[in-house]
Amino acid sequence: MRILLVDDEVELADPLIRVLTREGYIVDVAYEGTSGSSLAQSGSYDLLILDWMLPGTTGLEICQELRRQGKTTPVLFLTAKDTLDDRVQGLDAGADDYLVKPFELRELLARVRALLRRSGAESYSAAAKRLTVADLELDSDNQIAYRQGRVIELSHKESQLLQYFMEHTGQLLTHAQIMHHLWTDDEQPSSNVIAALIRLLRRKIEVGKEGMLIHTVYGKGYRFGAGFVESV
Protein backbone atom coordinates (compact mmCIF):
# COMPACT_ATOMS: atom_id res chain seq x y z
CA MET A 1 0.00 0.00 0.00
CA ARG A 2 1.81 3.14 -1.24
CA ILE A 3 1.17 6.70 -0.10
CA LEU A 4 2.70 9.90 -1.44
CA LEU A 5 3.01 12.74 1.09
CA VAL A 6 3.75 16.21 -0.27
CA ASP A 7 4.31 18.84 2.45
CA ASP A 8 6.95 21.53 2.85
CA GLU A 9 6.71 21.55 6.66
CA VAL A 10 9.48 19.10 7.54
CA GLU A 11 8.60 19.20 11.24
CA LEU A 12 5.13 17.91 10.33
CA ALA A 13 6.04 15.63 7.41
CA ASP A 14 8.76 13.62 9.14
CA PRO A 15 6.61 12.49 12.12
CA LEU A 16 3.80 11.66 9.67
CA ILE A 17 6.16 9.47 7.66
CA ARG A 18 7.14 7.57 10.82
CA VAL A 19 3.53 7.09 11.89
CA LEU A 20 2.32 5.96 8.46
CA THR A 21 5.29 3.61 8.07
CA ARG A 22 4.58 2.15 11.51
CA GLU A 23 1.02 1.48 10.34
CA GLY A 24 2.38 -0.65 7.49
CA TYR A 25 2.22 1.81 4.57
CA ILE A 26 5.05 2.47 2.10
CA VAL A 27 5.52 6.24 2.09
CA ASP A 28 7.27 8.46 -0.46
CA VAL A 29 7.69 12.14 0.36
CA ALA A 30 8.32 15.41 -1.46
CA TYR A 31 8.93 18.68 0.33
CA GLU A 32 7.93 20.99 -2.53
CA GLY A 33 5.30 20.99 -5.23
CA THR A 34 7.26 20.49 -8.44
CA SER A 35 8.86 17.20 -7.42
CA GLY A 36 5.63 16.22 -5.70
CA SER A 37 3.73 16.70 -8.95
CA SER A 38 6.25 14.59 -10.87
CA LEU A 39 6.00 11.77 -8.33
CA ALA A 40 2.20 11.94 -8.30
CA GLN A 41 2.06 11.57 -12.09
CA SER A 42 4.79 8.96 -12.47
CA GLY A 43 4.26 6.81 -9.40
CA SER A 44 1.62 4.18 -8.75
CA TYR A 45 0.09 5.36 -5.48
CA ASP A 46 -2.97 4.23 -3.57
CA LEU A 47 -3.37 7.63 -1.85
CA LEU A 48 -1.98 11.16 -2.13
CA ILE A 49 -1.72 13.38 0.96
CA LEU A 50 -1.13 16.94 -0.26
CA ASP A 51 -0.47 20.19 1.52
CA TRP A 52 -2.40 22.96 -0.23
CA MET A 53 0.18 25.74 -0.08
CA LEU A 54 3.51 24.51 -1.48
CA PRO A 55 6.54 26.19 -3.06
CA GLY A 56 6.45 25.70 -6.81
CA THR A 57 3.31 23.82 -7.80
CA THR A 58 0.56 24.00 -5.17
CA GLY A 59 -1.31 20.98 -3.89
CA LEU A 60 -4.45 22.35 -5.47
CA GLU A 61 -2.72 22.48 -8.87
CA ILE A 62 -1.35 18.94 -8.45
CA CYS A 63 -4.86 17.65 -7.75
CA GLN A 64 -6.42 19.59 -10.63
CA GLU A 65 -3.80 18.30 -13.11
CA LEU A 66 -4.31 14.69 -12.04
CA ARG A 67 -8.07 14.99 -12.48
CA ARG A 68 -7.62 16.60 -15.92
CA GLN A 69 -5.59 13.53 -16.88
CA GLY A 70 -8.41 11.28 -15.72
CA LYS A 71 -6.49 9.84 -12.77
CA THR A 72 -8.71 8.84 -9.85
CA THR A 73 -6.13 8.28 -7.10
CA PRO A 74 -7.72 9.43 -3.80
CA VAL A 75 -6.46 12.82 -2.58
CA LEU A 76 -6.48 14.04 1.02
CA PHE A 77 -5.68 17.74 1.51
CA LEU A 78 -3.82 18.91 4.62
CA THR A 79 -4.09 22.66 4.99
CA ALA A 80 -4.44 25.60 7.35
CA LYS A 81 -7.04 27.08 4.97
CA ASP A 82 -10.20 26.51 6.96
CA THR A 83 -13.00 28.64 5.54
CA LEU A 84 -16.05 27.13 3.90
CA ASP A 85 -15.02 28.63 0.55
CA ASP A 86 -11.58 27.00 0.88
CA ARG A 87 -13.14 23.59 1.55
CA VAL A 88 -15.50 23.94 -1.39
CA GLN A 89 -12.64 24.99 -3.66
CA GLY A 90 -10.53 22.00 -2.57
CA LEU A 91 -13.33 19.50 -3.08
CA ASP A 92 -14.29 21.05 -6.42
CA ALA A 93 -10.66 20.67 -7.52
CA GLY A 94 -11.07 16.91 -7.13
CA ALA A 95 -9.98 16.23 -3.55
CA ASP A 96 -11.69 13.34 -1.78
CA ASP A 97 -11.20 14.64 1.75
CA TYR A 98 -9.93 17.70 3.57
CA LEU A 99 -8.21 17.93 6.97
CA VAL A 100 -7.45 21.27 8.61
CA LYS A 101 -4.16 21.83 10.46
CA PRO A 102 -3.55 21.29 13.30
CA PHE A 103 -5.10 17.84 13.50
CA GLU A 104 -4.96 14.69 15.62
CA LEU A 105 -2.88 11.86 14.19
CA ARG A 106 -5.57 9.29 14.94
CA GLU A 107 -8.07 11.32 12.88
CA LEU A 108 -5.60 11.44 9.99
CA LEU A 109 -5.11 7.66 10.17
CA ALA A 110 -8.87 7.09 10.29
CA ARG A 111 -9.36 9.25 7.18
CA VAL A 112 -6.52 7.44 5.39
CA ARG A 113 -8.14 4.07 6.14
CA ALA A 114 -11.55 5.34 5.04
CA LEU A 115 -10.24 6.67 1.72
CA LEU A 116 -8.36 3.45 0.99
CA ARG A 117 -11.42 1.35 1.80
CA ARG A 118 -13.60 3.57 -0.38
CA SER A 119 -11.24 3.13 -3.32
CA GLY A 120 -10.97 -0.61 -2.76
CA ALA A 121 -7.23 -0.37 -2.19
CA GLU A 122 -7.38 -1.65 1.36
CA SER A 123 -9.28 -4.83 0.61
CA TYR A 124 -6.07 -6.71 1.47
CA SER A 125 -6.20 -5.68 5.10
CA ALA A 126 -8.78 -8.12 6.40
CA ALA A 127 -6.38 -10.97 5.77
CA ALA A 128 -3.11 -9.14 6.19
CA LYS A 129 -3.88 -7.68 9.59
CA ARG A 130 -5.56 -10.71 11.20
CA LEU A 131 -3.04 -12.17 13.64
CA THR A 132 -3.42 -15.33 15.70
CA VAL A 133 -1.35 -16.54 18.63
CA ALA A 134 -2.56 -19.53 20.64
CA ASP A 135 -6.33 -18.99 21.07
CA LEU A 136 -6.17 -15.21 20.63
CA GLU A 137 -7.00 -13.51 17.33
CA LEU A 138 -6.55 -9.80 16.59
CA ASP A 139 -8.35 -7.73 13.96
CA SER A 140 -6.13 -4.66 14.19
CA ASP A 141 -8.06 -2.63 11.59
CA ASN A 142 -11.18 -2.70 13.75
CA GLN A 143 -9.38 -2.73 17.13
CA ILE A 144 -11.08 -5.99 18.15
CA ALA A 145 -9.63 -9.23 19.53
CA TYR A 146 -11.30 -12.62 19.97
CA ARG A 147 -10.53 -15.24 22.61
CA GLN A 148 -12.51 -18.38 23.42
CA GLY A 149 -15.68 -16.91 21.97
CA ARG A 150 -15.25 -13.51 23.61
CA VAL A 151 -15.20 -10.27 21.63
CA ILE A 152 -12.65 -7.89 23.14
CA GLU A 153 -12.83 -4.20 22.25
CA LEU A 154 -9.49 -2.42 22.36
CA SER A 155 -8.36 1.18 22.46
CA HIS A 156 -6.05 2.38 19.69
CA LYS A 157 -2.93 2.05 21.86
CA GLU A 158 -4.01 -1.34 23.23
CA SER A 159 -4.50 -2.61 19.68
CA GLN A 160 -1.10 -1.24 18.61
CA LEU A 161 0.61 -2.86 21.59
CA LEU A 162 -1.11 -6.21 21.11
CA GLN A 163 -0.24 -6.23 17.40
CA TYR A 164 3.39 -5.48 18.27
CA PHE A 165 3.44 -8.34 20.77
CA MET A 166 1.80 -10.80 18.38
CA GLU A 167 4.19 -9.91 15.56
CA HIS A 168 7.12 -10.65 17.90
CA THR A 169 5.83 -13.72 19.73
CA GLY A 170 8.45 -15.30 21.97
CA GLN A 171 10.83 -12.36 21.73
CA LEU A 172 11.92 -10.25 24.67
CA LEU A 173 10.66 -6.72 24.02
CA THR A 174 12.30 -4.08 26.18
CA HIS A 175 10.56 -1.05 27.65
CA ALA A 176 12.57 1.14 25.25
CA GLN A 177 11.48 -0.88 22.19
CA ILE A 178 7.83 -0.70 23.19
CA MET A 179 8.07 3.01 23.92
CA HIS A 180 9.70 3.71 20.55
CA HIS A 181 7.08 1.66 18.71
CA LEU A 182 4.01 3.22 20.32
CA TRP A 183 5.05 6.86 20.53
CA THR A 184 7.04 9.28 18.39
CA ASP A 185 10.11 11.04 19.74
CA ASP A 186 8.03 14.19 20.22
CA GLU A 187 5.37 12.54 22.38
CA GLN A 188 7.31 10.30 24.78
CA PRO A 189 5.11 9.72 27.88
CA SER A 190 6.22 9.05 31.45
CA SER A 191 7.90 5.69 32.14
CA ASN A 192 4.96 4.22 34.07
CA VAL A 193 2.57 4.55 31.11
CA ILE A 194 3.75 1.25 29.59
CA ALA A 195 3.12 -0.66 32.82
CA ALA A 196 -0.36 0.87 33.07
CA LEU A 197 -1.13 -0.02 29.44
CA ILE A 198 0.07 -3.60 30.02
CA ARG A 199 -2.24 -3.92 33.04
CA LEU A 200 -5.24 -2.71 31.03
CA LEU A 201 -4.46 -5.09 28.17
CA ARG A 202 -4.01 -8.05 30.52
CA ARG A 203 -7.40 -7.41 32.10
CA LYS A 204 -8.98 -7.66 28.66
CA ILE A 205 -7.19 -10.63 27.10
CA GLU A 206 -6.49 -12.78 30.19
CA VAL A 207 -9.83 -13.43 31.90
CA GLY A 208 -10.69 -16.20 34.34
CA LYS A 209 -8.95 -19.48 33.54
CA GLU A 210 -7.63 -18.29 30.19
CA GLY A 211 -3.89 -18.82 29.96
CA MET A 212 -1.43 -15.98 30.52
CA LEU A 213 -0.02 -14.51 27.31
CA ILE A 214 1.88 -11.41 28.48
CA HIS A 215 4.84 -12.43 30.62
CA THR A 216 6.99 -9.97 32.55
CA VAL A 217 10.77 -10.33 32.38
CA TYR A 218 11.57 -8.28 35.44
CA GLY A 219 13.92 -5.38 34.93
CA LYS A 220 14.00 -5.94 31.17
CA GLY A 221 10.58 -5.97 29.51
CA TYR A 222 7.95 -8.44 28.34
CA ARG A 223 7.60 -11.66 26.36
CA PHE A 224 4.36 -12.63 24.58
CA GLY A 225 3.00 -16.09 23.93
CA ALA A 226 1.67 -19.29 25.50
CA GLY A 227 3.82 -21.62 27.57
CA PHE A 228 6.25 -19.07 28.97
CA VAL A 229 6.71 -18.28 32.67
CA GLU A 230 7.49 -14.94 34.21
CA SER A 231 11.20 -14.65 35.06
CA VAL A 232 12.95 -12.71 37.77
The Cα–Cα gap between 100 and 56 comes to 21
Higher pLDDT, 171 or 191: 171
Residue 230: what pLDDT?
Answer: 60
Q: Which CATH superfamily is domain 2-124 in?
A: Response regulator (3.40.50.2300)
Give residue limits of the domains in the chain. Answer: 2-124, 129-224
Contact 1, 45 (CB under 8 A): no
Position 69 pLDDT exceeds 70: yes
DSSP state of 219: T
In terms of pTM, does the model score above 0.75?
A: no
pLDDT digits (tens, 9 = 90+) for 137-152: 998 887 889 998 888 9
Mean pLDDT of 118-132: 61
DSSP state of 231: B
pLDDT digits (tens, 9 = 90+) for 43-55: 789 999 999 889 8
DSSP state of 210: P
**Could you tell me the pLDDT band of residue 62, with boundaries at 50, 70 and 90?**
very high
Q: How many Cα atoms are found within 13 Å in the side-chain-facing hemisphere of 74?
A: 21
Closest residue by Cα to residue 61 from 97, 28, 23, 34: 34
Helix/strand/coil percentages in the chain, nearest 5: 45, 20, 30
**Could you tell me the pLDDT band of residue 163, with boundaries at 50, 70 and 90?**
very high
Give me the CATH topology for the region 129-224: Arc Repressor Mutant, subunit A (1.10.10)
Residue 228: what pLDDT?
Answer: 67
